[in-house]
A = this chain, B = another copy of it.
Amino acid sequence: MEALTTGILRAGDVEVRPDEFRAFAGDQALNLTAREFELLTALVGRAGRIVSREELYRTVWGERYRKSDRSVDVYVAKLRHKLEDALPGRRFIHTHFGFGYRFQP
C-alpha cells in the first residue's frame, strides 16, 4: 500500500514492519514465527483484496502450489489465534469459499 516511504504496512489496528521482522496488533507486539510473519505480511500488503491460496503460497513459500497443500490454511488458523489473543472479538482474516482469503480490519 503506502509502503514507499516507510516500508511499514498498516491495515486498521494491525501494523507490520518488514524491515524489523515485527508486527503489532493495537499497541501490543505479536509474537510470530517466521512463516506466520511472512504470511501476515503478504496478507496485510494485500488488505481488502481476495487473495488466492496459490498467490499466498507462491509469495510466502516461494514454490509451486499443490492443491493438496494445506499449509496456507494451517497458518491462517495460527494467525487468527494470535490476532484473537491480541484483539479479542475482532475478525481480520476472512475466508472466501472457493477463492481464498481476505485481510480486512
- Which A residues form the contact surface with B (CB < 8 A)? 20-22, 33-34, 37, 49-50, 52, 96-100
Contacts and interface: CB of A to CB of B under 8 A. Distances in A.
A37 B37 CA distance: 32
Tallying the copies of this chain within the complex gives 2
14 contacts: A20-B49, A20-B50, A21-B50, A21-B52, A21-B96, A21-B99, A21-B100, A22-B50, A33-B97, A33-B98, A34-B97, A34-B98, A34-B99, A37-B99
A97 to B, nearest CB: 7
A97 B33 CA distance: 7
A34 B50 CA distance: 13
Nearest to A46: B20
